[in-house]
Structure 1
Amino acid sequence: MQNIFLLIISLLFYAFADWRFLALLGVTTFVNYYLGIKIYKVPQERKKTIFLYIGILFNLGMLVYFKYFNFFYESFFDLLSLFGVASSHSILVILLPLGISFFTFQVLGYLVDVYNEEIEPNTDLLEFSVFVAFFPKILSGPIERAASFIPQIQKKRKFSYKVCVDGLRQILWGLFAKVVIAENCAEFTNRIFDQYTDQSGSLLLIGAFFYAIQLYADFSGYSNMAIGVSKLFGIQLMRNFSTPFFATNISDFWRRWHISLTTWMLDYVFTPLSFVLRKYQKTGVLLAIVITFILVGFWHGANWTFIVYGLLHGLYFIPLVYSQKMNVKQKVAQGKRLPSIKETIQMLALFILIMLTDIFFRAKDVTTALDHLKTIFSASIFDFPAEIYGNITIITLTLIGVFMIVEWINRERKHDFDIANCKGYIRWGSYISIFILIFFFGRSSETFIYFQF
């Protein structure tokens, strides 16, 4: 009965986004449910592989059609124009189903795990449907693994006051991150990025700073709310962000940023690639990393800006690969209140690098992003940005400071607002303070940034 309830509300939730894509979700669920069973039951290895390839082609085919068809279509005609072949063409209007990148990767991982005999296929259609459609994660993840999610819905969930309260904390913190931090940052980024040709380098740099914070607060806010809502139903989703701006190198950053996508790419793309390219040693590892991150970028959207974004992140691994420090895990200021001078410099340098790279993430095309960077690194970077200086800027920066301080305090805990062990007056003081900040400084929003992916 719990699973029937979850499936009904999940389908209703998805229908509120766009009921027309319920059929697509249903077909995806039935096809992958059937293929998982066939892959497991067929004795011949060759037939197992055939069914796996059918699943990969089906799922990637759906993703490519809905998300990337126009990209390849336009790129083909752009290529023809480079060779002087003139041709007229029109763009097809294809609606992008919400969450398609997330639930597609989820079922792809499921089929590969069944093929590799890491899990047995789920033979209960109700349970598998809940796995695919569970409403907190379907629109923007986390990208859950069947091995961790399905066992949780195969048993009766019992109400836990402790888990419920912890879930409410995450919802509150996620809401604060979204409507206070992300939306106040958006007030600046939308204005600056939309009118970038009229802005100085200093103002564009400020815009890049606010966008980096907006992107993080928007997506981590969604993830915290999704994880928190899931806890109310007795289901634990994986952590998707772990204070990434406190990382000291690019490898550590990606261990903390969009963790469900990073681990998915590590298991299903990087590991097989590095095995194939192992004879090239460090160069092979680096090539596997670059290819993986190009795909990470392309996963985000059908635009060359995302490909460049992924490529740059892959290239940032060069020093780590050749110095053999890629797998070195470093906890900043472990057991201390404040970081060392060296750690502070490393965190700031990495944040600036990420911030400038995020310009490709936000820009409408590569030319626009390059123009942004060109202006930032011009003499106008020393101009005083008087047009943005004022009370609203000071308030927003103060709110960002509060946001980062709380995340710093909780950096080694289970989540960003894990204050369960604090004294009662601290907990309730925190709740009331956040409610007040949301009430006075929260801004309405119709969507999340990652809904477009």
Structure 2
Amino acid sequence: MVFNSFNFIVFIIPVLLLYWIIFKRSSVLQNVFLLLASIFFYAFADWRFLILLIASILLNFYLGLKIHNAEKESKQKMFLNIGLVFNIGLLLYFKYFNFFYEGFFKALNLFGLDSNHNTLKILLPLGISFFTFQTLGYLIDVYNEEVKPNQNLLQFSVFIAFFPKILSGPIERAANLLPQIEKKRLFSYNIFTDGLRQILWGLFAKMVIAEKCAEIANPIFDNFENQSGSLLLLGAFFYAIQLYADFSGYSNMAIGVSKLFGLQLMRNFSTPFFSTNISDYWRKWHISLTTWMMDYVFTPLSFTLRGYQKKGLVISIIATFILVGFWHGANWTFVFYGLLHGIYFIPLVYSGKMNKSEIVAKGKWMPSFKELFKMLALFVLIMLTDVFFRANTVTEAFNYIASIFSYSLFKFPNELLSSSYIIGIVLIAFFTIVEWKHRERLHDFEISNYNIIFRWSSYIFIFLLILFFGKSSETFIYFQF
């Protein structure tokens, strides 16, 4: 049941009406109803792993209390380690077992040993990468005494299972979401309408931009050996936009739906393509994952390696981004994707600019030539690196990029004159202009302070674009993670 489906409309309307009319009397009633709705939502998506989700909630709730109540640090660490083994173990088994299993037998082949084996059929539970990272962060925060453990199983269950974020995030932090769940939510017209605006923009990003880009990019990637370098470059461009519009669209919809229930999830994207360096890009791309990795992987690792100064910092960054890549999937393409992003930080580390976040053209209509050049150069670098994200193998990605930089790169792609490409480029241009205009706002379509005629004209225009150019899809790219 995805946000852009008829099933979701049938689900969300009665849930909202019951939530604000029947169950609004107390936080307990609101949380009971949200939990039931979330369980139904997850079961509708894949009922087979509902028991796994419930077991994860119960064990992590219990471990959080045990860590807090243990008098000795050794016992606190023991309960934390149990949580780490359980949660990381879930990921390793369901998501990565076959990766290591296949790797083991490939290694045997290298030594000429018999490696006949059958690949195990292990189903990947939906949302496992997101809710396990959320529970891991919760336990570590409790252990570090950054948050107090939640004493209410109902509230904790909603924190983990809340349906807008359960399948593809954002990866929420206890300090942000739990206090909101603990208290009664009051209906706010402004928050509700802002949520609807964010949902509308998310639908446009997914159904129009991402799906149009996929329509162009998929045939190019699926048959890249027979394409010109110029067309392959266009394919990489459209895929980079698709990846962003697909996931940012989902995140906007998830955050918007949450606002309809009076709950504010963290922002997950902040116009990352308007960044001028790789550090700023990752502060704005998949923010919930980036901040999670920075807090729980990079910070302790860099502290351990602080004696090696900048070399230790580089090692910490590269190791962190290899994990960022590997988090996305059990494939060497993702590992290489993360490795490349880690390497891109090296010039910033040695120039001392890693922590400097440049606000592009703040308060201005247009960027300077220097800012525009940096943005375009970074985008091209990201665009080419995304080929590894899309490819089936590392070799395939290298072959794709090598084919771009051939003599045929200078051949004009006739496909660019087709109606599909022209429509796609015009829609992307409109999408880019709107995001540029709102790059300093709380989200990409925050137009609450505009006059009513402009607002409603914008709503109608976006709706018509979705109606005429939108395509429905039952999948999001990040559902596979």
Q: Judge same fold: TM > 0.5, yes or no.
A: yes
Q: What whole-Å deviation, never above 9, does each CA across 1:124-155 have from its counterpart, x for those lacking one?
A: 11001001100000100000001111110111
SS for the counterpart of 1:401 is helix
Distance 1:78 1:17 in 2: 35
Q: In the alignment, what sits opposite 2:84?
A: 56
SS for the counterpart of 2:140 is helix
Answering whether residue 146 of structure 2 is matched by residue 118 of structure 1, we say yes
Q: In the alignment, what sits opposite 2:467?
A: 439
SS for the counterpart of 1:89 is coil
Q: In the alignment, what sits opposite 1:346?
A: 374
1:80 deviates by 1.4
Answering whether residue 425 of structure 2 is matched by residue 400 of structure 1, we say no
- Where does 1:26-425 land on structure 2 (aligned, <5 Å)? 26-387=54-415, 389-425=417-453
Q: What whole-Å deviation, never above 9, does each CA across 1:359-415 have from its counterpart, x for those lacking one?
A: 000001111101101101111111222245311111110000000000000000000
Counterpart amino acid of residue 255 in structure 1: R
SS for the counterpart of 1:170 is helix
Distance 1:197 1:81 in 2: 29
Counterpart amino acid of residue 205 in structure 1: L
Distance 1:389 1:368 in 2: 28
- Where does 1:1-20 land on structure 2 (aligned, <5 Å)? 1-20=29-48
1:292 deviates by 0.2
Counterpart amino acid of residue 182 in structure 2: Q
Counterpart amino acid of residue 134 in structure 1: F
Q: What whole-Å deviation, never above 9, does each CA across 1:198-224 have from its counterpart, x for those lacking one?
A: 111111110000000000000000000
Q: What whole-Å deviation, never above 9, does each CA across 1:172-229 have from its counterpart, x for those lacking one?
A: 0000000000000000111111111111111111000000000000000000000000
Cα-Cα RMSD:
0.7
Q: In the alignment, what sits opposite 2:26?
A: none
Distance 1:87 1:355 in 2: 38
Distance 1:161 1:121 in 2: 32
Distance 2:43 2:225 in 1: 40
Using the size of structure 1 for normalisation, the TM-score is 0.99
1:263 deviates by 0.3
Instruction: Tell whether the 8 Å contact from 2:211 to 2:471 is kept in structure 1 after alignment.
Output: yes
1:37 deviates by 0.4
Distance 1:444 1:381 in 2: 33
Aligned match of 1:427 in 455, 463, 472? Answer: 455
Counterpart amino acid of residue 342 in structure 1: K
- Size of the alignment, in residue pairs? 453
Distance 2:408 2:120 in 1: 42
Percent identity at matched positions? 70
Distance 2:31 2:316 in 1: 40
Instruction: Tell whether the 8 Å contact from 2:49 to 2:125 is kept in structure 1 after alignment.
Output: yes
Distance 1:315 1:87 in 2: 35
Counterpart amino acid of residue 39 in structure 1: I
In structure 2, the gaps of 5 or more residues are 1-28
Counterpart amino acid of residue 158 in structure 1: L
Distance 1:20 1:445 in 2: 23
Counterpart amino acid of residue 6 in structure 1: L
Distance 1:109 1:325 in 2: 28
1:335 deviates by 1.1
Q: What whole-Å deviation, never above 9, does each CA across 1:15-44 have from its counterpart, x for those lacking one?
A: 111101100001100110100000000101
Distance 1:124 1:226 in 2: 25
Counterpart amino acid of residue 298 in structure 1: F
Q: What whole-Å deviation, never above 9, does each CA across 1:347-368 have from its counterpart, x for those lacking one?
A: 0000000000000000011111
Using the size of structure 2 for normalisation, the TM-score is 0.94
SS for the counterpart of 1:142 is coil
1:86 deviates by 2.8
Distance 2:188 2:365 in 1: 33
Q: What whole-Å deviation, never above 9, does each CA across 1:84-136 have from its counterpart, x for those lacking one?
A: 22310110011100100000000000000000011111111100100110000
Distance 2:114 2:395 in 1: 23
Distance 2:279 2:354 in 1: 6
Instruction: Tell whether the 8 Å contact from 2:240 to 2:386 is kept in structure 1 after alignment.
Output: yes
The runs of 4+ residues in structure 1 deviating greater than 4 Å are none
Distance 1:122 1:259 in 2: 25
1:423 deviates by 1.3
Distance 2:225 2:205 in 1: 30
Distance 2:215 2:412 in 1: 20
